[in-house]
Structure 1
Amino acid sequence: MTDQPARAKASLWRTVRAVAWAMLGVRNGDEYRKDQESLRPLQVVGIGLVALFLIVLLLMGVVSWVV
């Protein structure tokens, strides 16, 4: 048996919010600790890569619209 308590899994929306706030560089200390307890690293990396891809597509669209 393991003595470690079960980690509560974060929802997809909570992961997206945490990644968005991290990209902006603004995070509340209390919320940060809650995220550390519930977020899984693979989830964060996956959402981060998708967000980065969407930002690049958005910037490419804006540049092509302006030019």
Structure 2
Amino acid sequence: MAGLQEASRRRGSFLDTVKAIGWAFFGVRGGREHERDISRLNPLHVIIVGVVLAAIFVVSLVLIANWVVG
């Protein structure tokens, strides 16, 4: 229960979460920035944003493939 309370107290903004996940998709997040993200971002928000961005990525690839083929 203490871990959940600690995660809910983290103060990373939504934009910080989106940027961190975006950099993670490209695999170019540096060590110091990564440590800052781990200490500030809420893990639940990271999971939600990651799933949403992955879904957007897959849908965009499907749309591009349909556009090229069609």
What TM-score does the superposition give when structure 1 sets the normalisation length? 0.85
Q: Quick one: which of 46, 63, 66 aligns to 2:65?
A: 63
| 1:20-67 CA distance string (max 9 Å, x none) | 111111111111111011011100000000001000110011001000
Q: What runs of 5+ residues in structure 2 fail to find an aligned partner?
A: 1-5
Q: Identity of counterpart residues, as a percentage?
A: 39
Q: Quick one: which of 8, 11, 23 aligns to 1:9?
A: 11
- 4+ residue runs over 3 A deviation: none
Secondary structure at the counterpart of residue 11 of structure 2:
coil
Corresponding residue number in structure 2 for 1:54: 56
Once superposed, what is the RMSD of the aligned Cα atoms? 1.4
What TM-score does the superposition give when structure 2 sets the normalisation length? 0.82
Q: What runs of 5+ residues in structure 1 fail to find an aligned partner?
A: none
Q: How many residues align?
A: 62
Identify, as 1 or 2, the structure richer in helix.
2
Q: Report if aligned partners of 2:21, 2:50 keep a CA contact under 8 Å in 1.
A: yes
Secondary structure at the counterpart of residue 27 of structure 1:
coil
Secondary structure at the counterpart of residue 26 of structure 1:
coil
